[in-house]
């Protein structure tokens, strides 16, 4: 999947690529986003990373990034759009969990706050590829 993403990024970022080549690599973005439906957490994280580095590179200026995102969403199939929406929902959920966890750390330390921090860590661990490592921390 990483190799396909690199091919996609190379051919769509170069303005000298012929239209026939651009059309030949358009299926790649669909396949990458379909990978979000795989059962492993590593696969989901890989799709998120590839979206941010190859499909819509974060290094680009904001206007260019929005053009790439608009082009991506306008040209993918329905299943890829659903995967993209699910990816965004999960990222929002993780961000909220991290925000709540940080707010708990700002409070004064009590037994109740400690229990809540443990519960937030358990919830956050489900969003990582190896939840056992976080729980051992």
Q: What are phi and psi of 108, to 5 degrees?
A: -70, 145
The pair of three-digit structure tokens given for residue 3, joined into one six-digit string: 């190799």
Torsion sign over Cα 97, 98, 101, 107 = negative
Alpha helices (H) along the chain: 2-13, 19-24, 27-34, 41-50, 62-75, 78-106, 111-125, 131-136
User: Following CA atoms 106, 109, 113, 117 in sequence, which dihedral angle do they give, to the nearest 10 degrees?
Assistant: 60
Whether 97 contacts 127, CB under 8 Å: yes
**Model-level pTM?**
0.80
Whether 56 contacts 102, CB under 8 Å: no
Domain coverage including residue 120:
2-136
Instruction: Write out the chain's pLDDT in tens, 137 residues.
Output: 999 999 888 887 777 888 888 788 889 999 999 999 988 888 899 999 999 999 999 999 999 999 989 989 999 999 999 999 999 999 999 999 999 988 988 888 888 888 888 888 888 888 777 656 655 65
Quote the CA–CA distance of 137 and 133 in Å, as a whole number: 6
Number of domains in the chain: 1
């Amino acid at each position: 999947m990483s190799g396909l993403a690199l091919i996609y990024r190379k051919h769509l970022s170069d303005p000298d690529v012929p239209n026939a080549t651009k059309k030949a690599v358009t299926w790649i973005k669909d396949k990458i986003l379909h990978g979000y439906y795989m059962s492993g957490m590593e696969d989901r994280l890989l799709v998120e990373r590839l979206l941010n580095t190859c499909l819509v590179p974060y290094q680009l200026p904001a206007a260019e990034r929005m053009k790439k995102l608009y082009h991506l969403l306008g040209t993918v199939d329905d299943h890829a759009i659903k995967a993209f929406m699910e990816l965004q929902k999960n990222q929002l959920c993780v961000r909220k969990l991290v925000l709540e966890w940080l707010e708990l750390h700002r409070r004064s330390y009590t037994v109740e706050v400690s229990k809540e921090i443990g519960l937030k860590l358990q919830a956050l661990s489900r969003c990582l590829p190896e939840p056992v490592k976080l729980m051992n921390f």
